[in-house]
Amino acid sequence: MKFYSTNNRSHVADLKTAVLKGLAPDKGLYMPESIPTMPASFWDNLPGMSMPQIGFEVLKHFFCPDIPEDKFRQMVEEAFNFPVPVVKVSDRISALELFHGPTLAFKDVGARFLARVMSYFADYGGKAINVLAATSGDTGSAVANGFLGVPNVYVHVLYPKGKVSKLQELQFTTLGQNITAYEVSGVFDDCQRMVKEAFMDKQLNEQKILTSANSINLARFLPQSVYYFHALAQIPREKWSKTVISVPSGNFGDITAGLVAWKMGLPVKRFIAAINANRVFADYLASGTYKPAPSIATIANAMDVGDPSNFARVSELFGGSAAEMRKLISSLSYTDDKIGATIAQVEKESGYTCDPHGAVGYAALRDNLTSDEFGVFLETAHPAKFIDTVQKYSGTIVDIPERLKRFMNGTKQTIEIEADYNLLKERLK
């Protein structure tokens, strides 16, 4: 499989180059040259397949034979080694719980897979790899823990000072070893801009191998497609064509993965891009004009993105047509007050505790499902990661899992810098 740039289809790279570079030289994102359709036998067997089995069958089309199938099967089994259950919340709405991995967030799926792919290329390349990641919350913890102790790989996490939850921060600032955390005086978009500038810095790239662990890296977002198939495996087949999937969306890597799954034949009815007050995508669907905007801080902070990187991939999947997108995707936006009210409502009516991002996904289904549809929303993080917000609105005490408690006892280690790329560059040299 070859991969092309969203800015220029004639720029093509092999898997190793696409993964290790992250961004194409023309600043485009890499996309697979072709997206295969899964055969009928796959759908017949799907209800009895485990997530690693699904992952191998789906992802081998993109990653093999560049990675030998026996080695790739082992990678998938190691990366997808925790449960991802569909849990009933109401009669017509269920949650796909993606928080049962090591850092209790959906990004464990992509980050653990990416770490193994990177490690494979590092083993066979012999040169140290520097992974850059901008985070608005869970990317930092998932990437840092996924790569912790991996030989020949060094991780640099940039995050906006004071704009991630305390527990999220502790999950990637207390690790040490091959993990360095940069506390940036700015917002997430500043962190993302600095990472992109590093990738475009010819001098720096001649000195070091730089790559991304954000969803701009194809080996981060493609494995996320697997849990959409896994969700259907847990749903009665007669409901598949009536299923609406609501995806809490910030940088749009997660919904891009879902759309790739749809291109591969995922037989669902439609998708909802559920967003907070950062409503750039909702405005795009309404107007047909994409207008990035400064990000707005919200209680669903991992979605505080004013210029989603993966919009380029979503647009590519639909030939740049907003009209074509509208046939499959709608988008609903929610303010902090509505997110908080939804947390309270779900807790009261069903006893289910949503984190703020999951609450956005639930609200979009609650407000948009028709009488004959069945909804699944992605519950992207354990509510304990946003414990103050969740307890404030739900009125319940949230238990903190032991995995989180261990991070709370660690010592924060960060480098504080202004939102200036040159300062980051000096550190990376």
Q: Give the domain ranges of the chain.
A: 83-105+221-400
Question: Residue 125 pLDDT more than 70?
Answer: no
Q: Are 28 and 7 in contact (CB under 8 A)?
A: yes
With bands split at pLDDT 50, 70 and 90, how would you rate the model's confidence at 402? confident
With bands split at pLDDT 50, 70 and 90, how would you rate the model's confidence at 126? low
Can you read off the two tokens belonging to residue 329?
A: 């995707």
**pLDDT tens digit string along 281-321?**
999 999 999 999 998 989 998 899 999 989 999 999 999 99
Confidence at residue 413, expressed as pLDDT on a 0 to 100 scale: 92
Q: Are 235 and 84 in contact (CB under 8 A)?
A: no
Nearest Cα to 333, choosing from 313, 354, 310, 304? 304
Work out the angle at residue 205's Cα, subtended by the Cα atoms of residues 203 and 207, and round it to the nearest 5 degrees.
75
Question: What's phi and psi for 154, nearest 5 deg?
Answer: -120, 130
Express as a percent the part of the chain with pLDDT over 70: 99
**pLDDT tens digit string along 128-179?**
889 998 887 777 888 888 888 888 889 999 999 998 878 888 889 999 899 9
In the predicted model, what is the mean pLDDT of residues 87-106? Answer: 95
**pLDDT tens digit string along 200-250?**
898 998 888 888 887 889 999 999 999 999 999 999 999 999 999 999 999
Global confidence as pTM: 0.89
Q: Are 244 and 375 in contact (CB under 8 A)?
A: yes
Can you read off the two tokens belonging to residue 62?
A: 């993109």
Nearest Cα to 193, choosing from 170, 221, 174, 212? 212
With bands split at pLDDT 50, 70 and 90, how would you rate the model's confidence at 40? very high
Mean model confidence pLDDT for the chain: 93
**pLDDT tens digit string along 247-284?**
999 999 999 999 999 999 999 999 999 999 999 999 99
Q: Are 3 and 30 in contact (CB under 8 A)?
A: yes
Question: What is the rounded CA–CA span in Å between residue 193 and residue 228?
Answer: 30
Question: Residue 26 pLDDT more than 70?
Answer: yes
With bands split at pLDDT 50, 70 and 90, how would you rate the model's confidence at 398? very high
Confidence at residue 152, expressed as pLDDT on a 0 to 100 scale: 83
Question: What is the rounded CA–CA span in Å between residue 383 and residue 400?
Answer: 9
With bands split at pLDDT 50, 70 and 90, how would you rate the model's confidence at 429? confident
Can you read off the two tokens belonging to residue 422?
A: 């040159």
CB burial string 163-178: b at 16+ within 10 A, e below = bbbebbbbbbbbbeeb
With bands split at pLDDT 50, 70 and 90, how would you rate the model's confidence at 403? confident
With bands split at pLDDT 50, 70 and 90, how would you rate the model's confidence at 326? very high
Can you read off the two tokens belonging to residue 110?
A: 């992509």
CATH 3.30.70.20, domain 83-105+221-400, yes or no: no
Question: What is the rounded CA–CA span in Å between residue 151 and residue 111?
Answer: 16
